[in-house]
A and B are shown apart, each in its own frame.
Chain A
Amino acid sequence: MEGWDPNTKSTLTQIPLLSTRAGPRDGAAWTQRLKEEYRALIAYTGMNKSNDNDWFRISATNPEGTHWSGKCWYVHNLRKYEFDLQFDIPVTYPATSPEIELPQLDGKTHKMYRGGKICLTVHFKPLWAKNWFGIAHGLCLGLAPWLAAEIPILVDSGAVKHKDDEVIASTTTTE
């Protein structure tokens, strides 16, 4: 698995694969797929918690299960940086993966496409296409390595400020 660290790979292989190949327009098959998505997310979240590596919250915001939102965070220099997280299940899912968006970081880094969509390595899509992955795998293989690579750079360059610092800055300016 070129492009990923051994840790990501071993985590990935422990997330249950999905067995129903269905998209949001596939009716009952999509409901079945959603159940599998939840099972994989529950397994992944539980795994993160027991490894003391809890790093995201995500849930579907509509009954059809096509829009998801939540939070993700990353600890850098002992401080926690938290961001809103959202994505839509594309109409061509699971042939194509969801495009993960961090809207608060839109315009702050070149490693993003329009609308705050994170820019993934060229190795992501082939891996996604070949394996029976779901939302949990996408987060593990796409978002987690992206945060690990980009957040330290964004914090060190000052593009991203810790929320405590931002509060201090705004109170000092109002004084």
Chain B
Amino acid sequence: MEEELRAMAEDLEEFKRISRESVHADLFAQLQRRVEKITSLAKSGPIRRSKVKDMSAEVVDSNPYSRLMALQRMGIVKDYERIRNFSIAIVGIGGVGSVAAEMLTRCGIGRLLLYDYDTVELANMNRLFFRPDQVGMTKTDAAVQTLSDINPDVVLESYSMNITTVKGFETFTKSLTCQNTHSSKHFIGVDLVLSCVDNYEARMVVNQACNEINLTWIESGVSEDAVSGHIQLLIPGETACFACVPPLVVASGVDEKTLKRDGVCAASLPTTMGVIAGLLVQNALKFLLKFGHVSPYLGYNALKDFFPTMSMKPNLQCSNNSCLDRQREYVSRKPERDAAAKAKEAEMLSEAVETALHLDNEWNISIVGDDDVESSNASSSTSGMLPDGLIHELPTADFHQKAPIAQDSGAFPDDLDELRKHLDALNAA
């Protein structure tokens, strides 16, 4: 197009020269201005930035990472560039997952694996990220399209499938453990899973996979009334798994009885989803780059701007067998952990002594260790009462059918094929 426009400008110049009629001068000038404008518009069209080999801290407007690398200079993060070695799996590329993916992409994460079985619909446009021109594409492909434009350095993998089926689960767990050979980095497995799904069944599947593989994950959720949400850190064996305790959510303060559920399953707001995506990725970054405190459970009540926190210990009677295996492993590693904690304490003590020797504490400020902050902020296990503002997502069952009704084994065959035929015959009757 640029060449065509240049040729057109030349033709115009030539036409002006040979016509010599001064009466047309204004018209020629106008035409030339128009061609120039179109030429500059054509030049400002989409350009793709090229890949960057190393993250540079150099402050120039052409460096996409300068502001991120500044975190390192300011002492917030020790080695920011490590982010390029990490792989994160995001399950559910909806209102939360897609925004989380964009944040991580802009942060320069090494590799992202995206899972969803759905396609982009116009009904999704009240949320961030997807564009109307992507309607009909699979969410994972549409996400890869946008994300690779934003940051071509990120290795992106698109998995358009349902992880809850037996076959889907196989593909899912395999992708979480295998090696990516398409990039020069040769990533193996993933470092963290972010669950951004909208239903209990899918969360239980992510829980199953992470317990089996021993992978840390962060679960996120937005309530169906769109005015609350939460994130929860799940480290197999160390914290409660998703099956250990009934799911906790933030009480929105809206009375369930006055909430008009009739005719709708769920509402959604881009604001609430954006906040939850932000909290989710913030904690993912803190977890991977080891800065600050990673919240074990953080709730968000949009109506009151209230953020309840808590932590949950694993349930020794958890119904998930892999969870129990991980719990046993965690207990057996206690001496290791104690030794590491002792070493760290000694290190911190020597540092503190050094600081005390070098500085007169003229402001009389006392330094509060990480451990103190932790114990004062987070409430301990859930064994007793729930902290203010948190409730169980589901009501407790008010019906329990005790013993199975005795089955007259004589009335039914014991062979599976026979049973199948029996049902078919009954159906045909």
Contact = CB atoms under 8 A, between A and B. Distances in A.
A49 interface: yes
A13 B117 CA distance: 36
B164 interface: yes
Contacts of B426: 42, 45-46, 49
B423 A59 contact: yes
A108 to B, nearest CB: 12
A91 B22 CA distance: 82
Nearest to A98: B201
Interface in A1-58: 1-2, 9, 12-14, 16-19, 24-25, 31, 34-35, 38-39, 41-42, 45-46, 49, 57
B401 A13 contact: yes
Contact of A14 (B162, B165, B405): B405
A18 B404 CA distance: 7
Interface residues of B, number: 46
Interface string B24-39: 0000000000000000
Given A59-B420, A91-B208, A112-B265, A126 B427 contact: no
Contacts of A97: 201
A138 interface: no
Interface stretch (B281-289, B293-301, B375-383, B392-400): B392-400
B320 interface: yes
A130 B201 CA distance: 16
A7 B33 CA distance: 80
Given A16-B404, A111-B263, A91 B427 contact: no
B401 A132 contact: yes
Interface string A59-101: 1100010100000000000000000000011111001110100
Nearest to A15: B405
B423 A45 contact: yes
A96 to B, nearest CB: 5
A122 to B, nearest CB: 6
Nearest to A88: B165
Interface stretch (B60-68, B180-188, B357-365, B411-419): B411-419
Given A16-B404, A96-B200, A131-B400, A42 B423 contact: yes
Contacts of B407: 16, 39
Contacts of A16: 404-405, 407
A57 to B, nearest CB: 5
A117 B396 CA distance: 23
Contact of A91 (B199, B205, B395, B419): B205
B243 interface: yes
Contacts of A95: 204, 243, 319-320
A92 B205 contact: yes
B337 to A, nearest CB: 30
**Chain B CB within 10 A, most for which of A16, A17, A110, A114:** A114
B208 A57 contact: no
A23 to B, nearest CB: 9
Contacts of B199: 113
B166 interface: yes
A115 B265 CA distance: 14
A16 B404 CA distance: 6
B263 A42 contact: no
A61 to B, nearest CB: 11
Contacts of A139: none
**Chain B CB within 10 A, most for which of A41, A60, A127:** A127
Contacts of A160: none
Contact of A17 (B205, B320, B401, B420): B401
A167 interface: no
Contacts of A42: 412, 419, 422-423, 426
26 contacts: A12-B401, A16-B404, A35-B419, A38-B420, A39-B407, A39-B419, A42-B412, A57-B427, A59-B420, A66-B166, A92-B201, A92-B205, A92-B208, A95-B243, A96-B204, A110-B263, A110-B265, A111-B263, A115-B117, A115-B118, A122-B394, A123-B398, A125-B200, A125-B394, A126-B246, A132-B401
The 6 A-B residue pairs whose C-beta atoms are closest, nearest first, are A38-B419, A17-B404, A126-B397, A91-B169, A130-B397, A119-B265
Given A49-B426, A91-B166, 10 more contacts: A18-B404, A25-B169, A39-B407, A39-B419, A42-B412, A89-B166, A90-B204, A95-B319, A115-B117, A126-B246
